[in-house]
Amino acid sequence: MVLVAQFVGALYGLLAVVFGAFGAHALKKRFTEEQLKSFETGVKYQMYHAIVLLMLGFNLNLDTTLEKYMVYCFLLGVFLFSFSIYGLCLSASKGRKLKFLGPITPLGGLFLVVGWSLLLYSFIRNFI
């Protein structure tokens, strides 16, 4: 599980840089200001959580059920949250908004909240 967190964290970080550059340069002319802000939000959240996954992978054994669920929540949350935003923005810029992606974004956000909650719980548990 440690290698999964490290690998996916590095992959998400790499893709965040690529998507950020793509958004700042290639999509700047195609996107509205609102679409560009949404796209940037997806990139930011992806990068933040890439760093979190790397930190977890390097600092925890990730051998407990709690730690595994935490990583799964971050992995799935980023994928659902950020990539649904990318899909929504790209499809809307082409005039064919993929509306089915709309409800997926908050579901991804929920997984991120659960991941952070599990991380907080793991810290609190160590103090009690």
Structure confidence by residue, pLDDT tens digits, 80-99: 999 999 999 999 999 898 99
Q: Is the pLDDT of residue 28 over 90?
A: no
pLDDT > 90? residue 126: no
What single DSSP character describes residue 31? S
pLDDT at 31 over 90: yes
pTM: 0.93
Q: What does the pLDDT average to over 30-43?
A: 95
Query: What are the C-alpha distances in Å from 33 to residues 27, 84, 115?
Result: 11, 18, 30
CA distances from 59 to 55, 74, 83, 92, 114 (A): 6, 16, 27, 40, 20
Of the ranges 6-10, 50-54, 58-62, which one carries the lowest mean pLDDT score?
A: 58-62
State pLDDT tens for residues 62-78: 999 999 999 999 999 99
